[in-house]
Amino acid sequence: MTEPDIKKGLAGVTVDYTAVSKVNPETNSLLYRGYPVQELAATQSFEAVAYLLWYGELPTDAQLAAFVAEERADRTLDENVKQAIDLVPLTAHPMDVLRTAVSLAGASDPAAFDNSRESDLAKSKRLFAKLPAMVAYDQRRRRGQELIDPREDLDYSQNFLWMTFGEIPDPVVAHAFNVSMILYAEHSFNASTFTARVITSTIADLYSAVVGAIGALKGPLHGGANEAVMHIFDEIGSAENVSPWLDTALAEKRKIMGFGHRVYKHGDSRVPTMKAALDTLVDHYDAPDLAALYDTLESEFVSRKGIYPNLDYPSGPSYNLMGFDTQTFTPLFVASRVTGWTAHIMEQAASNALIRPLSAYNGPDERHIPGYVPDAEAE
Ligand code: SDX
Q: Name the pLDDT band for 3 (thresholds 50, 70, 90).
A: confident
Specify burial of residue 155 (Cβ count, 10 A radius: 0-12, 13-18, 19+).
Answer: middle
Mutate to test the pocket of ligand 1, among 222, 311, 330 (most ligand atoms within 8 A of CB): 222
How much of the chain, in percent, has pLDDT values that exceed 90?
A: 96
Pocket lining: 169 vs ligand 1, CB cutoff 6 Å: no
How would you list the strands of the sheet with 21-24, edge to edge?
21-24, 29-32, 35-36
- How confident is the model at residue 260, as a pLDDT? 97
CA distance 38 to 359: 40
Residue whose Cα lies nearest atom 54 of ligand 1: it is 260
Q: In the 8-state DSSP scheme, what is residue 309?
A: B
**Amino acid (one-letter) located at 323:** G
- Could you confirm whether domain 226-321 is CATH 1.10.230.10? yes
Q: Which CATH architecture has domain 20-220+332-350?
A: Orthogonal Bundle (1.10)
Quick check: 62 pLDDT over 90?
A: yes
- How confident is the model at residue 376, as a pLDDT? 78
Angle between helices 171-184 and 156-165 (to 10 degrees): 110
Q: In the 8-state DSSP scheme, what is residue 10?
A: G
Nearest partner of 197 among 98, 309, 342, judged by Cα: 342
Q: Name the pLDDT band for 102 (thresholds 50, 70, 90).
A: very high
Pocket lining: 216 vs ligand 1, CB cutoff 6 Å: no
- Residues found in the chain: 379
Q: Are the C-beta atoms of 133 and 77 separated by less than 8 Å?
A: yes
Q: Are the C-beta atoms of 132 and 159 separated by less than 8 Å?
A: yes
- How confident is the model at residue 37, as a pLDDT? 98
Residue spans of the domains in the chain: they are 20-220+332-350, 226-321
Pocket lining: 259 vs ligand 1, CB cutoff 6 Å: yes
- How confident is the model at residue 137, as a pLDDT? 98
Pocket lining: 190 vs ligand 1, CB cutoff 6 Å: yes
Give kind and range of the element (H or E) at residue 30.
strand 29-32
Ligand 1: nearest atom to the Cα of 186: 8
Using the mean position of ligand 1's atoms as its centre, give its distance from the Cα of residue 254 in Å: 11
Using the mean position of ligand 1's atoms as its centre, give its distance from the Cα of residue 269 in Å: 15
Pocket lining: 260 vs ligand 1, CB cutoff 6 Å: yes
Specify burial of residue 139 (Cβ count, 10 A radius: 0-12, 13-18, 19+).
Answer: buried
Q: Name the pLDDT band for 377 (thresholds 50, 70, 90).
A: confident
- How confident is the model at residue 125, as a pLDDT? 98
Describe the chain by its helix, strand, coil percentages, rounded to 5.
60, 5, 35
Mean pLDDT of 98-112: 96
Ligand 1: nearest atom to the Cα of 223: 12
pLDDT tens per residue, range 271-307: 999 999 999 999 999 999 999 999 999 999 999 999 9
CA distance 266 to 245: 24
Using the mean position of ligand 1's atoms as its centre, give its distance from the Cα of residue 296 in Å: 20
Query: To 10 degrees, the CA torsion angle through 260, 269, 35, 25?
Result: -60
Residue whose Cα lies nearest atom 5 of ligand 1: it is 190
Catalytic residues: 222, 261, 312
Q: In the 8-state DSSP scheme, what is residue 364?
A: P
Pocket lining: 307 vs ligand 1, CB cutoff 6 Å: yes
Mutate to test the pocket of ligand 1, among 14, 20, 217, 221 (most ligand atoms within 8 A of CB): 221
Q: Are the C-beta atoms of 311 and 28 separated by less than 8 Å?
A: no
Using the mean position of ligand 1's atoms as its centre, give its distance from the Cα of residue 253 in Å: 13
- How confident is the model at residue 228, as a pLDDT? 97
End-to-end CA distance of the chain: 39
Specify burial of residue 300 (Cβ count, 10 A radius: 0-12, 13-18, 19+).
Answer: middle
CA distance 125 to 71: 7
Residues sharing a CB contact under 8 Å with residue 373, sequence separation 6 or more, in sequence order = none
Mean pLDDT of 356-363: 96
Pocket lining: 258 vs ligand 1, CB cutoff 6 Å: yes
Pocket lining: 117 vs ligand 1, CB cutoff 6 Å: no
Q: Name the pLDDT band for 113 (thresholds 50, 70, 90).
A: confident
Specify burial of residue 172 (Cβ count, 10 A radius: 0-12, 13-18, 19+).
Answer: middle
Using the mean position of ligand 1's atoms as its centre, give its distance from the Cα of residue 188 in Å: 17
CA distance 255 to 312: 14
> According to the 3-state scheme, what is the secondary structure of 179-239?
HHHHHHCCCCCCHHHHHHHHHHCCCCCHHHHHHHHHHHHCCCCCCCHHHHHHHHHHHHCCH
Mutate to test the pocket of ligand 1, among 182, 245, 256, 310 (most ligand atoms within 8 A of CB): 310
Q: Are the C-beta atoms of 173 and 190 separated by less than 8 Å?
A: no
